[in-house]
Amino acid sequence: MARLVLKFGGTSVANLERIRNVARHVKREVDAGHQVAVVVSAMSGETNKLVGLCREASLLHDAREYDAVVSSGEQVTSGLLAIVLQDMGVEARSWQGWQIPLKTDAQHGAARITDIDGSKLIERLEKGQVAVVAGFQGVAPDNRIATLGRGGSDTSAVALAAAIRADRCDIYTDVDGVYTTDPRIVSKARRLERIAFEEMLEMASLGAKVLQVRSVEMAMVHGVRTFVRSSFDDPDAPQLGAGGLPPGTLICDEDEIVEQQVVTGIAFAKDEAQISIRNVADKPGVASAVFGSLADANINVDMIVQNISPDGRTTDITFTVPESDYDRAFAVLRDKKDLIGYQAIEGARDVVKVSVIGIGMRSHAGIAARCFQGLAEKGINIRAITTSEIKISVLIDSAYTELAVRTLHSLYDLDG
């Protein structure tokens, strides 16, 4: 017997036929003797419709009212799934955020979860009742409904799993797991049986869009074993695959990964642009002047590279911004030329960041060197490099994206 949280997104609950399919997944787990809480999104299209009504009402709408309107979508799905489950003979009830309560901060429209009281849910789960929880919503300190912002239902599910001390949080999605890289680019990409939280965090933030970064962060902080699987699976098919789990990817603590690979995956982020500032003074406060100015203009900076000054007086700073902010970033830097003090700024639009990710590289030497050598052999020029403990990122011309990803995928023995 295990305690499970299952999360289903909008396309999985788009109509009553699909909601019945979701109910069959739930019933299978209940029949297997598990305690089950389900987190549901709004029926696909509903949230957009409700957001559209708010915009039509006023372009500058009160976020608290927006939350009251938009959260109704998940409220409807939670009630309908509870009805369908009961109809199948599964005891179930719906829970709105304020009923649990799932408490958030006051940032209506993009709230963060501050506290979940799991006691009432646990009491019901232990009696065999399925809890159907409206995702994406909680209650703010003003006792009003708050929505959680992008990826909110994933975050609801993981946070709920932590609060009720679930053994696993199953994220049902339209892909069947996390791959070593994008299968559309590398046909030999393999589904990972397991991936460590830290690795998934790098994969998620670099563009593998299976799970929102916030929900992975939360899973890591609370140690919630999170299992990504396909909602299109036949609910009645045999469940056990390798490792005692059906097809999918388990995101877990690295201790749970027995056969640790050195490199787990190759990620890449398109739509980046590079900016380099030449000959800035190598003294305290310069980096702050550059990135403070960009932050004030609400421009997100990703990769930052600054080398040791060769002469001790001036240096170059290179960084990337979203391609859509490139012109604006240039304008900000020109404005602040006197404050920052530099000789020239230059940049490039068509760049891509390719990253090699793996917890194993902490204990293996030479991983970075192989990356640089492999790219050099294919004649791919590296514009900039940054590394962390478990990641090597290189900035290259975007024309070489596929070649670089395929080369690195083979190089680190990831091909299936």
Annotated binding site for ATP: 7-10, 173-174, 179, 184, 209-210
- 84 binds a second copy, rule: CB under 8 A: yes
Kindly list the strands in the beta sheet with 391-397, ordered across the sheet, starting from the edge strand earlier in the chain. Answer: 304-306, 314-322, 265-281, 344-357, 391-397, 384-388
CA 243 from centroid of its chain's CA atoms: 24
Residue 62, CA atoms < 13 Å, CB-side half-sphere: 6
| Integer Cα distance of 208 and 182 in angstroms | 8
Write down the least CB distance from residue 49 to a second copy, Å.
10
Nearer of residues 82 and 317 to a second copy, judged by Cβ: 82
State which of residues 5, 82, 251, 361 lies at the interface with a second copy (CB under 8 A). Answer: 82
| Count of residues that bind a second copy according to CB under 8 A | 38
Among 84-92, 243-251, 312-320, 408-416, which window interacts with a second copy (CB under 8 A)? 84-92
Q: Is 18 exposed, middle or buried (0-12, 13-18, 19+ CB in 10 A)?
A: middle
Stretch that binds a second copy, among 85-93, 281-289, 349-357, 370-378 (CB under 8 A): 85-93
In this structure, are residues 211 and 192 in contact, taking their beta carbons and an 8 Å threshold? Answer: no
Distance CA 293, CA 339 (A): 10
Tell me whether residue 78 or residue 173 sits nearer to a second copy (CB atom): 78
Question: By C-beta, is 49 or 337 nearer to a second copy?
Answer: 49
* Residue of 3, 18, 64, 112 interacting with a second copy (CB under 8 A): 64
Residue selected from 2, 32, 53, 339 as contacting a second copy according to rule CB under 8 A: 53
Longest Cα separation, the chain: 77
Q: How far apart are CA 331 and CA 6, in angstroms?
A: 47
If binding is defined by CB under 8 A, does position 86 make contact with a second copy?
Answer: yes
The answer to whether 80 contacts a second copy (rule: CB under 8 A) is: yes
Phi, psi angles (nearest 5°) of residue 173: -140, -175
Sites for a second copy among residues 10-29 (CB under 8 A): 16, 19
Q: DSSP labels for 97-125?
A: GGGTTEEE-S-TTS--EEEE--HHHHHHH
> Exposed, middle or buried by CB within 10 Å (0-12, 13-18, 19+), for 93?
middle
Q: Binding a second copy by CB under 8 A: which of 18, 24, 44, 50?
A: 50
Residues 111 and 55 sit within 8 Å (Cβ to Cβ): no
Is 278 near a second copy (CB under 8 A)? no
CB of 140 to a second copy, least distance (A): 11
Q: Which of 14, 51, 69, 403 binds a second copy (CB under 8 A)?
A: 69
Kindly state the smallest distance separating residue 153's Cβ from a second copy, in Å.
17
- Length of the chain equals 416
136 binds a second copy (CB under 8 A): no
In 3-state terms, what secondary structure has residue 364? coil
State how far the Cα of 325 lies from the Cα of 300, in Å rounded to an integer: 8
Check binding of 89 to a second copy (CB under 8 A).
Answer: no
Report which of 237, 252, 396 is spatially closest to residue 320, judged by C-alpha positions. 396
Decide: is 112 part of the binding site for a second copy (CB under 8 A).
Answer: no
Q: Give residues 91-110 in contact with a second copy (rule: CB under 8 A).
A: 93-94, 96, 98-99
Region binding a second copy by CB under 8 A among candidate stretches 71-79, 158-166, 241-249, 295-303? 71-79
Nearest of 178, 241, 183 to residue 415 by alpha carbon: 183
Asked whether position 87 contacts a second copy by CB under 8 A, the answer is yes
* Contact with a second copy (CB under 8 A) among 68, 110, 297, 367: 68
Smallest gap from residue 88 Cβ to a second copy (A): 9
Distance of closest approach, residue 321 Cβ to a second copy, in angstroms: 33
- CA–CA distance from 282 to each of 107, 279, 302, 303, 329 (Å)? 39, 8, 21, 19, 21
**Quick check: bond before 101 cis, omega within 30?**
yes
Nearer to a second copy by C-beta: 79 or 322? 79
The binder of a second copy chosen from 24, 28, 112, 144 (CB under 8 A): 144
In the list 35, 47, 78, 355, the residue contacting a second copy (rule: CB under 8 A) is 78
User: What does the H/E/C string look like for 88-99?
Assistant: CCCCEEEECHHH
Is the CB of 46 or the CB of 154 nearer to a second copy?
46
Output DSSP code: residue 179.
B
What minimum distance in Å lies between the beta carbon of 164 and a second copy? 18
* Binding-site ranges for a second copy (CB under 8 A): 16, 19, 50, 53-54, 56-58, 60-62, 64-69, 71-73, 75-76, 78-80, 82-84, 86-87, 93-94, 96, 98-99, 143-145
